[in-house]
Amino acid sequence: MSFTHVAIIGLGLIGGSVGLAIQQHLPGVRTSGFDRDPDVRRRAADLGLVGQMHDSAAAAVAGADLVILCVPVGAMGTAARDMAPGLGADAVISDVGGSKVAVTQALQAALPGRCIIPAHPVAGTENSGPEAGFATLFRQRWCIITPPADAPADRVAALVKLWEDLGAMVECMDAAHHDMVLAVTSHIPHLIAYTIVGTASDLEQVTRSEVIKFSAGGFRDFTRIAASDPTMWRDVFLNNSDAVLEMLDRFLADLAVMRGAISEGDGQAMFDLFSRTRSVRRSIVAFGQDDARPDFGRGDHGKDQN
Amino acid sequence: MSFTHVAIIGLGLIGGSVGLAIQQHLPGVRTSGFDRDPDVRRRAADLGLVGQMHDSAAAAVAGADLVILCVPVGAMGTAARDMAPGLGADAVISDVGGSKVAVTQALQAALPGRCIIPAHPVAGTENSGPEAGFATLFRQRWCIITPPADAPADRVAALVKLWEDLGAMVECMDAAHHDMVLAVTSHIPHLIAYTIVGTASDLEQVTRSEVIKFSAGGFRDFTRIAASDPTMWRDVFLNNSDAVLEMLDRFLADLAVMRGAISEGDGQAMFDLFSRTRSVRRSIVAFGQDDARPDFGRGDHGKDQN
């Protein structure tokens, strides 16, 4: 089987990008959409993010054989209940949320007996809203699918195929493992970035203007991540707290070791860590998950290089 | 006055970029150079990083009215002593090191009575070595100059002018303040990045392959910084430990607050922090210190955007 009509609920960066990507890569597939914010609905319609915009979630999902919920993870249950009256009996319900155990539970509670196959495309930018979406967001990025044990194999295969058609590489794993992996590759980096940007903003000895001026020493990289959508990230931390706290405590233990090395002037401990982290970067570039150019190929360095 | 002959000691990313930038922007100024590694000397000569390569530091600085030490901050004292026999009586000695109190002390101890005007261009990439240098590295970046109280005004003005000619914006401040500012805008971000990349590499629950695959969720940004030169960064932490520890403890206190918010499910505390950090990013982009395009304009998102 393959999907012929995809409904998208929530038309921000990810929902909008899904809509555009389906229209570009799968022109034979119908797309319909809804966002609970009337202003977002109007802008998304003007941008053509989906083929048909609707004024209610129930109307948007009517006739769809796949519904993708693209709302913050804390809003999944409500979004699912709102659309339920319009949902066809055989529709597959999926999502794009950054935590999977909590979202799976919320969807199963809201839609008992339905075919629910959660997913998470590991892709995004620091921008949000319907204008931030673009059709190539998922290209060469991984999408993790976390099928419950009783998910029908043909439906799972169809969802895998859909994401591959949008340019993604797909891996299936169980929801709890996803939450642990993403805690370290995404949630802790965001928490750290938000926190250090907050710390830097609150100093008395260093002015905010100095922090901004001299940010090219490394800090500016963290501000990009710390500009991500606040609602989305609040919900991720509220809905993946166990894994985040476990990974955070490991990071804090490692940071305490480095604090000790600095305090005691143990240069060897620093050199050992700083040497071995280089190879992780090389692997990420080698596996196509980042730009090989220095400084991400940023505009100010990517041109006129010697 | 203005400088007519600049000697560069140490020909890695920064030294090589200084040499190329002077040759591009100030073709009337002579450049000479030395690196204590014979292999780097040969590669730097092949790359034309300076006009004249020498086989000793003393020979490289002979006749120079400005010497710029571009070696790790822990090597400044030794590099200064090595070149002393060739140094002219009126030569200005400067550097590019990332910590300024310790470097100023090391240079004053090695070269008593000399005109020492430390400097720090806040620019770089994650790459190192002579091949990493390029002439436009300093363009639109800040260079901080920390003149000691007795530095002659005309020499300070000439150094300011040189960095401006290389494309930089210059700010003068005292060395201790520099060390506090850079602790927060550069040193702590590097320490955090090195540590989290180390933490992620050592997990049992999550494989290294998973960390690499799913790094686009935020982690990959940290790996770029954690690929920076290990010797340079070891020396920075050994030579700015007081300011780094002070800033690290503030960050740890703020992170403990966020840990508590996650543990207690306090979404409002998270939302408040995540909302106010967005404005810092906007300021950095507005002040020309980062690329305005989403995701730094990375290759995979910068093209074909919708």
Q: Nearest chain A residue to B130 by CA: give it.
A: A306
**Across A277-281, average pLDDT:** 90
pLDDT at B127: 92
Q: Tell me what the pLDDT averaged over chain B comes to.
A: 95
Name every chain B residue with its beta carbon within 8 A of the beta carbon of A136. 300-301, 303-306
Token pair listed for A58 = 């129930």
Q: Which of B135, B297, B306 sits opposite A297 (nearest CB)?
A: B297
Nearest Cβ partner for A245 among B187, B251, B263: B263
Q: Which residues contact B182 (CB under 8 A, 6 or more apart)?
A: A214, A217, B98, B99, B120, B122, B144, B240, B243
Q: pLDDT band at A299, cuts 50/70/90?
A: low
Question: Tens of pLDDT along B132-187?
Answer: 999 999 999 999 999 999 999 999 999 999 999 999 999 999 999 999 999 999 99
Instruction: Kindly report, residue by residue over B45-93, the tens digit of the pLDDT.
Output: 999 999 999 999 999 999 999 999 999 999 999 999 999 999 999 999 9
For residue B270, the model assigns a pLDDT of: 97
pLDDT at B299: 62
What value does the mean pLDDT take over residues A271-300?
87
Bridge partner residues of B67 (DSSP): B7, B93
Integer Cα distance of B244 and B237 in angstroms? 7
Q: Please give the Cα distance from A160 to A138 (Å, whole number).
A: 13
Edge-first strand order for the sheet with B119-121 is: B119-121, B142-145, B169-172
Residue B306 has pLDDT above 80, yes or no: no
Q: Which residues of A touch B199 (CB under 8 A)?
A: 184, 247, 250-251, 254
Contact B297 A300 (CB under 8 A): no
Beta bridge partners of B69: B9, B95
What residues contact A270, with CB distance under 8 A and at least 6 apart?
Answer: A258, A261, A262, B230, B233, B234, B237, B238
pLDDT, tens digit (0-9, with 9 covering 90-100), for A69-92: 999 999 999 999 999 999 999 999
Residues 88-107 of chain B whose Cβ lies under 8 A from any Cβ of chain A: 98
Report in angstroms the alpha-carbon separations of B89 from B6, B57, B64, B85. Answer: 15, 16, 10, 10
Q: Which of B63, B27, B219 minimizes the C-alpha distance to B135?
A: B27
What is the C-alpha to C-alpha distance for residues A163 and A171, in angstroms, rounded to an integer?
Answer: 10
Phi and psi torsions of B295, nearest 5°: 60, 35
**Residues of A with CB below 8 A from B185's CB?**
200, 206, 210-211, 214-215, 217-219
3-state secondary structure chain B: CCCCEEEEECCCHHHHHHHHHHHHHCCCCEEEEECCCHHHHHHHHHHCCCCEECCCHHHHHCCCCEEEECCCHHHHHHHHHHHHHHCCCCCEEEECCCCCHHHHHHHHHHCCCCEECCEEECCCCCCCCHHHCCCCCCCCCEEEECCCCCCCHHHHHHHHHHHHHCCCEEEECCHHHHHHHHHHHHHHHHHHHHHHHHHHHCCCCCCHHHHHHCHHHCHHHHHHHCCCCHHHHHHHHHHCHHHHHHHHHHHHHHHHHHHHHHHHCCHHHHHHHHHHHHHHHHHHHHCCCCCCCHHHHCHHHHCCCC
Instruction: Please tell me if residue A260 touches chain B, with a CB cutoff of 8 Å.
Output: no
pLDDT band at B301 (very low <50, low <70, confident <90, very high): very low
Who's near B19: CB < 8 A, 6+ residues apart? B8, B11, B31, B33, B44, B49, B50, B133
Looking at the predicted structure, is the pLDDT value of residue A301 above 70?
no
Q: Which of residues 28-57 of B touch A (CB under 8 A)?
A: none
The more confident residue out of A28 and A304 is: A28
Q: What is the set of domains in chain B, with CATH numbers? A: 5-173 (3.40.50.720), 177-292 (1.10.3660.10)
- In this prediction, residue A305 carries a pLDDT of 38
In this predicted complex, what is the ipTM?
0.91
| Residue position matching structure tokens 């969720």 | B217
Q: Which residues contact A42 (CB under 8 A, 6 or more apart)?
A: none
Q: What is the nearest CA distance from B175 to chain A, expressed in angstroms?
A: 13
Contact A140/B300, CB-based, under 8 Å?
A: yes
Average pLDDT over residues B17-25: 98
Interface of B with A in 235-254 (CB under 8 A): 235, 237-238, 241, 244-245, 247-248, 250-252, 254
Residue B212's nearest CA partner among A176, A175, A287 is A287
- Between chain A and chain B, how many beta carbons pairs sit less than 8 Å apart? 396
Distance CA B114, CA A153 (A): 77
Query: How do residues B177-228 score in pLDDT, each as one tens digit?
Result: 999 999 999 999 999 999 999 999 999 889 999 999 999 889 999 999 999 9
- B260/A contact by beta carbon, under 8 A: no
Inform me whether the C-beta atom of residue B140 falls under 8 Å from chain A C-beta atoms.
yes
DSSP A94: E
User: The tokens of A255 are what?
Assistant: 């940071």
Residue with tokens 């927060």: B184
Q: Which residues of B touch A250 (CB under 8 A)?
A: 199, 203
Residue A52 confidence (pLDDT): 98
Interchain contact, A189 vs B267, CB within 8 Å: no
CA distance A188 to A248: 7
Query: Span A258-267, mean pLDDT?
Result: 98
**Average confidence (pLDDT) over A98-120:** 98
> The tokens of B10 are what?
């140490």
User: Smallest CA–CA separation between A266 and chain B, in Å?
Assistant: 8
Q: How far apart are CA A234 and CA A191, in angstroms?
A: 10
Cβ proximity of A77 and A105 under 8 Å: no
Packing angle of the helix pair B267-286, A230-239 (nearest 10 deg): 140
A6, containing H or E segment: strand A5-9
User: Six-digit token pair at A33?
Assistant: 């959409």
**What are the tokens at B72?**
């790790």
Distance from CA of B201 to the nearest CA of A (A): 8
CA distance B237 to chain A (A): 6
Whether residue A271 contacts residue B263, with contact meaning beta carbons closer than 8 Å, is answered with no
Selecting from B20, B198, B291 the residue whose C-beta is nearest the C-beta of A306 gives B20
